[in-house]
Amino acid sequence: MLARSPVRKRTVDDREAVIDFVQQGFVIYEDVFDTDLIAISLEHLMIDYDRLSGLARDGQFPVDVNGWSVAIMDAFARTGLYDQIIHTPKLIEIAKGYVGPDVAWLGHDGLFINVPTDTDPVLLKGQHTDVWTGTGVNTVFAALFFTDVDAYNGLTVCPGSHLQGLRPVRNRAIHPDWDVPFEQVNLDMVRAGDLVVWHALLIHSTTGHSDKNTRISMTSRFRANDGDMTSQERALGTRALSVGPLNQVLRLVGNDRLTPLRTYGGYVGVDRRMAGLYDCSPYHGGVDYSQYLRGV
Ligand SMILES: O=C(O)CCC(=O)C(=O)O
């Protein structure tokens, strides 16, 4: 049964957020991203979607919203817009609050284009946990919504279900022998720009499809940039979003074997190309030429 939720949205500096995460298994954050960045990103994604759906209407290929989402996401991940999104300071602050100062963003984010007529199960997920599909329990899921959701096309979660351990699975669904009831909460209050994070053991699902509205969101994952990765995570690859102070010291020393006196009497600093990441470490600066190169 779907309950109306008492869910409170949180901001980056709200300590209650982490308490929600521990006890409920999910958090909705608001006011994380610049609203123009979200609006321009949505426009960018919709231009690509309209192009592919137009070509399908012209008979070039069949309708395949899931396949288009993969291609659109691949292209989007190479844009400056994506780069700005994942380097948003408040997003990195949130991530550090869960996994510590060394944050790694996993590759191959999933784009969710949830359109009224589509029936592909990949974009209409039944109840599941992400551990089933290879995510580690120390990895956090994060879905950024580029559109509002309505009562039909959002995300539904089972608060507290992550505290019951791993749900047994059969044929990609909760095993019928282990199917104990959990409250289901439809996160229909999510609005464009909100970020929903959840624990990899949380039972959740796509609420469904609206008969008139399209929902677009990007599902990503982040984790600490050390410790064991699952086999899937190794294949997805990671990108460092922040480097903590202890790691910055090691970089200035130069290597993990702690070679003595590498820079004694010389310049103790990091390579210029790493300056953004090693934000507490000195480097020889100059003009930031990237500003002249960046497109969307
Ligand atoms: O956004 C959704 O509707 C479902 C996303 C999801 O369950 C997932 O990516 O694991």
- Yes or no: say if 130 and 161 are a contact pair by the CB < 8 Å rule: no
Kindly report, residue by residue over 245-256, the tens digit of the pLDDT: 999 999 999 999
Q: Where are the domains of the chain?
A: 9-242, 244-296
Percent of the chain with pLDDT over 90: 90
pLDDT at 6 over 80: no
Nearest 5°: the CA angle 146, 119, 67 is: 65
pLDDT at 1 over 50: no
* pLDDT mean over 238-267: 97
- Dist. CA 285 → ligand 1 center (Å): 42
Own/partner pairs, 44-47, CB within 8 angstroms, 24+ separation: 44/76, 44/79, 44/81, 44/296, 45/72, 45/76, 45/111, 45/113, 45/146, 45/216, 46/216
- Dist. CA 23 → ligand 1 center (Å): 20
Whether 206 is in the pocket of ligand 1, judged by its Cβ within 6 Å, is: yes
* pLDDT mean over 33-38: 98
Name residue, tokens 């949205």: 9
Cα 121 from Cα 126, distance rounded (Å): 8
Measured CA distances, 239 to 77, 144, 151 (Å): 12, 18, 35
- Yes or no: say if 150 and 210 are a contact pair by the CB < 8 Å rule: yes
Ligand 1 atom 10, closest CA: 130
C-alpha dihedral (111, 115, 119, 122), degrees to nearest 10: 10
Whether 110 is in the pocket of ligand 1, judged by its Cβ within 6 Å, is: yes
Residue closest to 97 by CA, chosen among 276, 235, 224: 224
User: Of 148, 186, 219, which is best to mutate to test ligand 1, by the most ligand atoms within 8 angstroms of its C-beta?
Assistant: 219
The pLDDT value given to residue 295: 60
pTM of the model: 0.94
Q: pLDDT band for 113, please (50, 70, 90 cuts).
A: very high
Whether 67 is in the pocket of ligand 1, judged by its Cβ within 6 Å, is: no
- Dist. CA 279 → ligand 1 center (Å): 33
pLDDT at 5 over 80: no
Ligand 1 atom 7, closest CA: 205
Whether 131 is in the pocket of ligand 1, judged by its Cβ within 6 Å, is: no
Kindly report, residue by residue over 20-34, the tens digit of the pLDDT: 999 999 999 999 999
- Dist. CA 57 → ligand 1 center (Å): 28
Q: Residue 154 CA: which ligand 1 atom is closest?
A: 3
**CATH pick for 9-242 out of 2.120.10.80, 2.60.120.620, 3.30.70.990, 2.60.120.200:** 2.60.120.620
The pLDDT value given to residue 156: 98
